[in-house]
Structure 1
Amino acid sequence: MVTSAAGTTTGSYYASTDFSRRLDEMQTALGQGPSISAAAQGEAILVPDLDEPWARRTWPVFVESALAGDLRGVFAFPVGTGAAVLGTLTIHRPAPSPLKEVELAYGLASAGVALDLMLHPSPTGTDATWINGTDLGAHQVEVHQAAGMVSLQLGVTVDEAYSRLRAHAFRHDMTLADVAVEVVRRWLRFTPDPQPD
């Protein structure tokens, strides 16, 4: 899975499986997880076992959701360096185990390839697709559109709008992409919180 990062928001560029896509959407909706930490810190986050106490303390809600979905190992590599981190490349495992030395090397090298692909897209003009056949990143466009609409509906910053979208997704056990679709299609409208008397 390759995830882009822009400020406090993230979105998938590519996921090898539906499970990978759901994992990314879970982290995006919750605003926490190894991929988000790797992008924010600009360093690889290697978690051989999410059931470890330190992982539970670091990403409490994400870990509970991930373990319930039979995910145990997560390895997130920053795509880029320093202030120029564009996102992360994330590998996951259903069983707890550390990466071997050669696997770590492949992960780091693959993050470099992902950076090159993000900076130099295919000149053919053809769009890559998800493994499930949908346009690559199409759902992320709707997330950004939804954030803009919610920002206007509530009179808040775009970052706050993303937070509201994530909270709604979590509260209603939805993906962020599904909430965005409802907002963009005007099936869901956010209203300002009532002012106290």
Structure 2
Amino acid sequence: MSTSQFDQLTGQFLRAVRDSGGGMTAVCAACVRVLPVRRAAIVLEERDAGMQPWCASDEFADRVEAAQATAGEGPAVSAVADGAPVVVTDLASDCEHWPGFVEALAGARVSGSLLAVPLRLGTIRLGAVDLYRDAVGRPGPRMLAAALHIADLVTASLVLTAADGTGQWAQPASSQRIHQAAGITSAQLGIEIGDAYARLRGYAFTHGLSLVEVSQLVVDRCIAIEAE
């Protein structure tokens, strides 16, 4: 893509975010609006908790992102760890690198392809933007270049919002519940907070629940994570 094409894409993206009201949900919607993708999601690296979804454009994306958060592995996790885009050519059959992710997705009807692009600021890796297409296969070079540019814009928006304190990237309620549940589990079992997140994830994985579902049950005092 030429410089003028990148400039045009920047303008389209910023207008789409503004037209959708701003904030995290608007960013996801803008990704779908300006890129040849069906859906999008943004996941951010949270201390101790690992990669957590902060927005998803629809229930399909939300289900896939929940599986990544529960398993602690998947395309976005690898993209952040490696600092490079990860392509899943077919969500239904090309995820053997992440067996836990596959198991967490068991029973869910998934199809199409996924491109996970890391959100980077120099050597700092903040998270990833996941872009879903209905078609299977690898994205073309033009699509990849556009996705990398959009990821840079998302990163810039994240950093600027954190700096000026506008709160447009406020932590979602689902993430808050996970942190609250980890705090409760840490206090009840007398373990480190990092171990508490691992216990929550293990319980979720064993019982076929999402990390958010288990966290809500802990917060509501419906279950208590037992000591090993």
> Normalized against structure 2, the TM-score is what?
0.72
Deviations 1:56-100 (A, max 9, x none): 1x2123235278522342211110145410000011234421101
Pair 1:159-2:215 in alignment? no
Secondary structure of the residue aligned to 1:87 is strand
Secondary structure of the residue aligned to 1:86 is strand
Check whether the contact 2:120–2:152 (CA below 8 A) recurs between aligned residues. yes
Match of 1:145 among 169, 173, 180: 180
Q: Tell me the distance in 2 between the aligned counterparts of 1:161 and 1:124.
A: 29
Aligned to 2:56: 15
Residue correspondence of structure 1 range 1-197 to structure 2 within 5 A: 1-7=41-47, 9-50=50-91, 51-52=93-94, 55-56=95-96, 58-63=97-102, 65=105, 68-81=108-121, 83-121=123-161, 125=166, 127=168, 137-193=172-228
Check whether the contact 1:77–1:107 (CA below 8 A) recurs between aligned residues. yes
Secondary structure of the residue aligned to 2:139 is coil
The alignment-based identity, stated in percent, is 30
Deviations 1:20-75 (A, max 9, x none): 122111101011101111112211111213424xx41x212323527852234221
Moved more, 138-147 or 170-179: 170-179
> Normalized against structure 1, the TM-score is what?
0.82
Residues 86/77 of structure 1: CA separation in 2 closer, same or farther (3 Å cut): same
Residues 162/124 of structure 1: CA separation in 2 closer, same or farther (3 Å cut): closer
Question: What is the aligned-residue RMSD (CA, Å)?
Answer: 2.4
Q: Tell me the distance in 2 between the aligned counterparts of 1:157 and 1:126.
A: 29
Check whether the contact 1:150–1:161 (CA below 8 A) recurs between aligned residues. yes
Report the residue type matching 1:31 in the other structure. Answer: G
Residues 170/95 of structure 1: CA separation in 2 closer, same or farther (3 Å cut): farther
Secondary structure of the residue aligned to 2:161 is coil
Aligned to 1:132: none
- Runs of 4+ aligned structure 1 residues displaced above 3 Å come to 122-128
Deviation, structure 1 residue 5: 0.6
Check whether the contact 1:2–1:114 (CA below 8 A) recurs between aligned residues. no
Aligned to 2:11: none
Residues 63/72 of structure 1: CA separation in 2 closer, same or farther (3 Å cut): farther
Check whether the contact 2:114–2:133 (CA below 8 A) recurs between aligned residues. yes
